[in-house]
Amino acid sequence: MKTKLRISYRVYLILLFLDSMKDRLIILSFAPLLFLGSDLRVDVIDKLSANSSVEKESLKEKTVEKCQSIFSKNQFSNLLQNKTKDYLKKSSRTGIRPCSSYQQLLNQKKKGRLQRVKASIGYELDDFTHSYALLLPYSNRLLKEIGKRFRDDLENTPLKGSKFIVTSLTRSTHSVKRLGKKNINSIQRSPHLHGNAMDFSFSRFHIVKQSEVTECDKIFLQETLSKILYDLKIKKKCWVTFERYEKCLHVVANKVNL
């Protein structure tokens, strides 16, 4: 009877250990532990656990390497280096005149000069504190094109359904002044005043994924979005600046056939 009890207790201990393991295929490999002495059994379990941790860490490193072989960090975002002088003159000429208040911007909307911007395919709108969800029609079309391309590029990946976040759109002169008190990089002659500029977060995304989100996933999303913007920049549909300090992608739409 005592022998049976000892065996049952050993079985109980092993089952507790196996219960914490997610990979059921490994269970059979631990069956011989039932016949080992307690000290030896503990030593074997410790070594197996240590090996498992090493293997997991190695797999993690390989995953990051695989990710970086697809997209290196800042591979495309580093190519987005337009300066204010590149677009400010045209932004001013093709956009609206700066409005001092939100009400004046709404008047521009009533005249058909501006359109209301809503969350759509591929992107979400942030809680704006210094801008308003309004854009010129051609700028709004560009935003929708970027969103659709972002959606399509993620279609056959584990990140399917993820979206980028729009953090800023059209501003009034009043909101630019308020922003200037918090953001040393904001400028009084901002293209956001003309209804054809938009900012996307580079650090935050709405990520959809069944498993744990990794650093590799974030790099993939950052560079996927940057690659799309770089392609549009090359096609002269927009100007783009990767603003590292603000961790955002600053996009100014060019009035072309969008």
AA letter at 2:
K
CA-wise closest residue to 17 among 4, 210, 36: 36
Given this structure, which CATH class describes domain 78-253? alpha beta
Q: pLDDT digit string (tens) for 141-169? A: 999 999 999 999 999 999 999 999 999 99
AA letter at 188:
Q
- 70 pLDDT band, cuts 50/70/90, is low
| Per-residue pLDDT, 249 | 97
- Asked if the model's pLDDT at residue 230 lies above 50, the reply is yes
Cα separation, 149 vs 136, in Å, equals 20
CA-wise closest residue to 216 among 155, 151, 157, 167: 157
CA-wise closest residue to 87 among 214, 256, 254, 258: 254
Q: pLDDT digit string (tens) for 192-225? A: 999 999 999 999 999 999 999 999 999 999 999 9
Delimit the domains of the chain by residue range: 2-70, 78-253
Task: Using a cut of 0.85, tell me whether the model's pTM lies above it.
Answer: no
Helix residue spans in the chain (DSSP H): 2-19, 38-70, 84-94, 102-110, 137-153, 173-180, 215-234
| Per-residue pLDDT, 218 | 93
| Per-residue pLDDT, 43 | 59
| Per-residue pLDDT, 189 | 72
Name the packing angle between helices 38-70 and 2-19 (round to 10°).
10
